[in-house]
Structure 1
Amino acid sequence: MYLKKLRRRKFGRLSSILFVLCIALSFITLSNMYVYVVSRNMLQQISISMTDYIVANSKGGIYQRLLSGSRMAELANDAIFANITGVRRHEVVILNKPLEGNVYQCKDHGNSSNCGNLENNVEHNQENLVDLAWIPLKYYKPADGPHMLRLRNGKMVRYTNFSYFPITTNSSYLLNNEHICRVKGELTLLIMVHTAVPHFHHRQVLRDTWANKELLKDKQMKIMFLLGRPKNENIKALLVNESQQYQDLVQGDFIDDYHNLTHKGVLGFRWITENCRNAKFILKIDDDVYVNIFRVLEELLPTYRKHPDIIMCPLVKDGKIFHNKSKWAISSDYFPDLQKYPVSYCLGPFVLIPGKFIPHLFEAAKRTPYFWVDDVYLFGILAESIQGSTFWPLRIRFEHETKSLACFNGNKPCKLMMAFAWKDDTMHKYWNATLVQYGKLVKKYANPRFH
């Protein structure tokens, strides 16, 4: 009799606990967006941002949030990652035979029905999916626990609790002009441009003005544009035509998005490592940046004769870490104990780096967990791995376009090494003014038709 009462009491407590858990799960389901992780043996609900992409591994079943922190989950066998909430966008990762390792999106963005039955029969739903991005199946997993970032001075800092995957380093090129750097003799300078897919005009004015590959008479200079996959599929044909005409585009298999700039930078490191080892210097810029190339040739490059192992750039020391209300806000998972970044880093609009360093940066990217703030990752965290290198801070002012135009339109040579060109005609105004203000240097370095 006593045993029966004890069993009833235990069963009652268990029922109460289960009831409370059900209510809690119902409340959470109503107040959050979820990604449903479905496998043959289990079903888990995991909260994740709708703007995140997902990295997945089919052997061992590990996934990671790609854009703003990450979270690990163990899965069994094949799995489907599907957002079936019907809110904004439907993203799925399918780890199953021909679709393995890719991110997909339901064609009907306003209706979740196309995603709802994916777990029942993956192959029958292939026609309802649009391929979004290539995802690497290889991954790097350090020791259990928080990843530790070792700095060159021996200091160890906590990097992130969850980021176990390196950046994409071995996906296929969608566009690849591998002959860009094939020149007779030494290639003095390769201009590596981070460009947005629809910025056709930005790319064209760079080709027509200071980054023209035929500008220099005694030195050789080339330009390459890095970009990802367009969100608008109709732009693909225009990019192919542009690539065939100018043969200077390099396109990676990732969505072209602000939060994927780290992918774009590593794509550049990879491409140079594979195709452009003969470039003595690399000048990394954005596609809205004007550079007084004659001052670079006259003042900056000669510095490398005495200091061959420097990276020149506007340098940030003790950069503040933002966790909210900022364009560069990051998850608290990253550097959880710090208020400032543990590394100095270059501001991306202008970075001059010896070509010999690029393979080292690419190798470091293979073993360094992903971090989406590209300046910190590319020219901070990765640069820490280059033994013997040092930063050479440049006093470059980032002026508003109006002030920069006033400088170039003045009566004396403008001292700005670089300036932003956001309006369509600004780049040409800078360039025409430079040809007049720096006439002596133009004659020294440029071919006669540019005088």
Structure 2
Amino acid sequence: MFCRLRTHQWCFIIFNIMLFHSLLFGGDLLEKYFLRSLPVTYTDMKILQIREKARKLDMDPLKTNISKSFIISSSEVCSDQEVFLLTIVSSSPANRTRRNLIRQTWGNVTGIRGYAVLILFALGKPVSEAMQLDISEESQNHGDIIEGNFLDSSENQTLKIVMSMEWTLAFCSNAKFLLKTDEEIFVNIASLADYLLNLKTHLEDIYIGRVIHQEVPDRDPQSKGFVSLSQYQEQYYPDYCSGTAFVISQDVVRKIYVVAKETILLVPPDVFVGICAKNAGIIPIQSSRFSGKKHIRYNRCCYKFIFTSSGMEDDEILKEWREISDGKDCTLLETYYGLVSCRVLTYFDKFKHFNIETIKNEAFRFTN
């Protein structure tokens, strides 16, 4: 049948195949190659000063007064090994069940191809003393808790990120890369580490994740995320990586930390990191293998390729981790099919959610 097709029929089939793939993957290619931030010139005296200050950064004063910044520091966990990828998971004090699940699944990775991987949990102080006792007990059992000397709240999430960078510089400065992620995210450590190991050049100024382009600050005074003009005056935020998960190299940790200590801005935590990165002359790098805030519909070969998926339920993580860690590799064709499959299903979920929200909004307006 295919042999009998005429030229125009073949052209029609090829056109539709190309159209399908451009609709499916075109957005990622557009973000990666055409919507990147313009390079920052290092002749800017301010940027040069920040970089020089980062190079000379001294963390010894913090080490001599650990209790000022940390209630639980776990300062020894990184001292006896050369860490390639340090992962710090932003967690809420009460969510011990989730931390245990991560320890059993994707967080139960200590090395990739002979390179050490270390996974820790970053917390702020809980409200109750009873919960503080539980966290202390958990830390004694697992030795993977970092607890900052500030109240764990939605307003202090920026402090938690800065605290994570501070800990990295003070107690794990030999780590090549830092992955900051959230506890509701599924992370394929093996896939991510393999990608980072294959970076042959330009191993500095690495700031990679799902890049958000030209986001408008929330100017609604009634909104929880309200940002006034006095707090941030620009029309758009600079390009930044979604705070659900991003990777930065050790030199970027130093540069962002230096800027952060001199910056007071009431903006979302991931935006804050993006602003600090821009002020230090660092350009965020887009990777479509980070899901951002999207939940990627499961396919084994798709999940063996991507880095993250958001909004994961406990039973999902356990089931899917068992499947992708079974040792069976995916062929190129299986990976291609898996990516197409999970991308199509994810788009269907997005449209379904959009339609449900639209119906709810219309019903609410009709009721009013």
Whole-angstrom distance in 2 between the partners of 1:318 and 1:153: 25
- Residue of structure 2 aligned with 1:280, choices 176, 194, 197: 176
Correspondence for 1:420: 310
- Residue of structure 1 aligned with 2:239, choices 344, 362, 365: 344
Correspondence for 2:325: 435
Shift of 1:209: 1.6
- Residue of structure 2 aligned with 1:297, choices 185, 190, 193: 193
User: Residue 358 in 1 paired to residue 253 in 2?
Assistant: yes
Shift of 1:412: 6.7
Look at both structures and tell me which one has the larger radius of gyration over its CA atoms: 1
Q: Unaligned 5+ residue runs, structure 2?
A: 1-39, 47-61, 332-368
Whole-angstrom distance in 1 between the partners of 2:198 and 2:246: 16
User: Residue 310 in 1 paired to residue 244 in 2?
Assistant: no
Correspondence for 1:214: 110
Shift of 1:151: 10
- Residue of structure 1 aligned with 2:280, choices 368, 386, 404: 386
User: Residue 173 in 1 paired to residue 70 in 2?
Assistant: yes
Whole-angstrom distance in 2 between the partners of 1:278 and 1:372: 30
Whole-angstrom distance in 1 between the partners of 2:293 and 2:264: 34
User: Residue 202 in 1 paired to residue 107 in 2?
Assistant: no
Write 1 or 2 for the structure with the bigger share of strand: 1
**CA distance change for structure 1 residues 213 and 245 in 2, over 3 Å: closer, same or farther?**
farther
User: Residue 240 in 1 paired to residue 159 in 2?
Assistant: no
Q: Is contact 2:245–2:292 with CA below 8 Å preserved after alignment?
A: no
Q: Is contact 1:188–1:221 with CA below 8 Å preserved after alignment?
A: yes
Shift of 1:373: 1.1
Q: Is contact 1:346–1:375 with CA below 8 Å preserved after alignment?
A: yes
1:45-444 alignment runs, 5 A limit = 171-184=68-81, 186-216=82-112, 218-303=114-199, 305-324=201-220, 326-336=223-233, 338-341=234-237, 343-378=238-273, 380-387=274-281, 389-395=282-288, 396-398=290-292, 401=295, 403-405=296-298, 407-408=299-300, 415-436=305-326, 439=329
Whole-angstrom distance in 1 between the partners of 2:263 and 2:41: 12
SS at match of 2:127: coil
Shift of 1:293: 1.7
Scaled by the length of structure 1, the TM-score of the pair is 0.55
Shift of 1:255: 1.2
**CA distance change for structure 1 residues 351 and 412 in 2, over 3 Å: closer, same or farther?**
closer
SS at match of 1:350: strand
Per-residue Cα deviation, 1:167-205 (whole angstroms, up to 9, x for no partner): xx9833111100121233x21110011111111011112
SS at match of 1:203: helix
SS at match of 1:251: strand
Per-residue Cα deviation, 1:399-437 (whole angstroms, up to 9, x for no partner): 754x523x34xx776643211254222221221121247
Whole-angstrom distance in 1 between the partners of 2:328 and 2:249: 26
Whole-angstrom distance in 1 between the partners of 2:41 and 2:161: 21
Q: Which has the higher contact order (CA 8 A, sep 6+)?
A: 2
Whole-angstrom distance in 2 between the partners of 1:270 and 1:193: 15
Whole-angstrom distance in 1 between the partners of 2:85 and 2:211: 21
Q: Is contact 2:242–2:292 with CA below 8 Å preserved after alignment?
A: no
Whole-angstrom distance in 2 between the partners of 1:153 and 1:197: 44
Q: Is contact 1:192–1:284 with CA below 8 Å preserved after alignment?
A: yes
**CA distance change for structure 1 residues 440 and 218 in 2, over 3 Å: closer, same or farther?**
farther
Shift of 1:363: 1.6
Per-residue Cα deviation, 1:238-284 (whole angstroms, up to 9, x for no partner): 00000111111111111111121000011111111111101011111
Question: Quick one: which amino acid aligns to residue 223 of structure 1?
Answer: I
Q: Is contact 1:189–1:283 with CA below 8 Å preserved after alignment?
A: yes
Question: Quick one: which amino acid aligns to residue 206 of structure 1?
Answer: I
Whole-angstrom distance in 2 between the partners of 1:258 and 1:300: 31
Question: Quick one: which amino acid aligns to residue 182 of structure 1?
Answer: S
**CA distance change for structure 1 residues 255 and 434 in 2, over 3 Å: closer, same or farther?**
same
Whole-angstrom distance in 1 between the partners of 2:83 and 2:305: 27
Question: Quick one: which amino acid aligns to residue 90 of structure 2?
Answer: H
Question: Quick one: which amino acid aligns to residue 279 of structure 2?
Answer: S
Question: Quick one: which amino acid aligns to residue 404 of structure 1?
Answer: R
SS at match of 1:332: coil
SS at match of 1:348: strand
**CA distance change for structure 1 residues 371 and 217 in 2, over 3 Å: closer, same or farther?**
same
SS at match of 1:425: helix
Q: Is contact 2:291–2:310 with CA below 8 Å preserved after alignment?
A: no
Q: Is contact 2:294–2:311 with CA below 8 Å preserved after alignment?
A: no
Whole-angstrom distance in 2 between the partners of 1:399 and 1:331: 25
Q: CA RMSD in A?
A: 2.9
**CA distance change for structure 1 residues 179 and 363 in 2, over 3 Å: closer, same or farther?**
same
Per-residue Cα deviation, 1:278-300 (whole angstroms, up to 9, x for no partner): 10111110011111222212234
